[in-house]
Structure 1
Amino acid sequence: MVKTLTQEFQIKKKDTAAAMGSGGLEVLSTPSMIAFMENTAYELFTPLSSSGETTVGIEINVKHLSPSAVGKRVEVRAKLVEQKKSILFFHIEAYDDEKLIGTADHKRAVVTIETFMKNIE
């Protein structure tokens, strides 16, 4: 049942803590790293979902372990480790130059798009 996906992202100025407002330095921001992680988990499950379904993030426990500079490539490795009904459990790791920079345990819920969107009206 374990499925994995690896994606690469290049850190741009818009991804920095200074640009995001989460800090003052020109390094990869934690919110941007989380977005890279969530996107990789989302992309991992998308081909497995039925028509009219998607996944939404519902919980993330993240550790940002090391800074990364603008221009660096970040490799994000997501692993689907369990599914309990409509809840998906992922373990995610992020690396730059093979150095671990972040880890996360992430939960996503499988939802019907039409029903989900009605809830925001």
Structure 2
Amino acid sequence: GNFAVLCVADMHRFSRVACSNSFLKTAVPFRWASISTGLKGEADTIVETNRNTARHLKSGNMDVFATPAMIALMEEAACTALKISLSEGETTVGTAISVTHDRATQVGVTVRAAAEVTSVEGRRITFAVKAVDETGAVVGQGTHARAVVNTSRFLAALAASDGPTGRPGPN
């Protein structure tokens, strides 16, 4: 296909762009105009002993909401924000997360995560993320980044790569 160097002002004019990621040396379709700052998503969960506590996930030894579970909930909220903006065959993968876990949450309490798009740079999307409990107290907050990928190309490149990490070289 045809590729062009895109400036931010021209992104809406193209439906295909070249990616620099080594997994994606081919064009990746992307709906530039539909992902913009301000998009929001939410996800919620109830803290359950045999599902998302530190003891159950082996990230600690107490029955309180686990940090990995909070991060997964924040990622789910980010995915929800983008759900209707992605083209068929596209998904996003998490590329970075920086959060604080500010408050313990006991079993039986509902936690809601919210994600808001704060920047879009090419196929990289950055979010402000926050989790609160049912009283509105902040459980955790920070930033999260995701990258838009073509699902089948990504999986094919991963399968063709060397080693279990998908990266060439020693694993």
| TM-score interval, smaller chain | over 0.9
Query: Does residue 2 of the first structure (1) align with residue 38 of the second (2)?
Result: yes
Q: 2:64 aligns with which of 10, 23, 27?
A: 27
User: What's 1:41 paired with?
Assistant: 78
Alignment map for 1:97-112 (pairs within 5 Å): 97-112=135-150
Q: 2-side partners of 1:33 and 1:103: how far apart?
A: 10
Q: 1:11 aligns with which of 47, 50, 53?
A: 47
Deviation at 1:104, TM superposition (A): 2.0
Q: State the TM-score, normalizing by the size of structure 1.
A: 0.96
Query: Does residue 65 of the first structure (1) align with residue 102 of the second (2)?
Result: yes
Larger radius of gyration: 2
Q: 2-side partners of 1:75 and 1:46: how far apart?
A: 18
Which consecutive residues of structure 1, in runs of 5 or more, have no partner in the other structure? Answer: none
Deviation at 1:7, TM superposition (A): 2.5
Higher percent of residues as strand: 1
User: What's 2:125 paired with?
Assistant: 88
Q: 2:152 corresponds to which letter in structure 1?
A: E
Runs of 4 or more consecutive aligned structure 1 residues displaced over 3 Å after TM superposition: none
Say whether the 8 Å CA contact 2:41–2:79 is kept in structure 1.
Answer: no
Q: 2-side partners of 1:117 and 1:104: how far apart?
A: 29
Q: State the TM-score, normalizing by the size of structure 2.
A: 0.69
Greater RCO (Cα-Cα under 8 Å, separation 6 or more): 1
RMSD: 0.9
Say whether the 8 Å CA contact 2:40–2:117 is kept in structure 1.
Answer: yes
Which consecutive residues of structure 2, in runs of 5 or more, have no partner in the other structure? Answer: 1-36, 160-171
Q: 2:91 corresponds to which letter in structure 1?
A: T
Q: 2-side partners of 1:46 and 1:104: how far apart?
A: 21
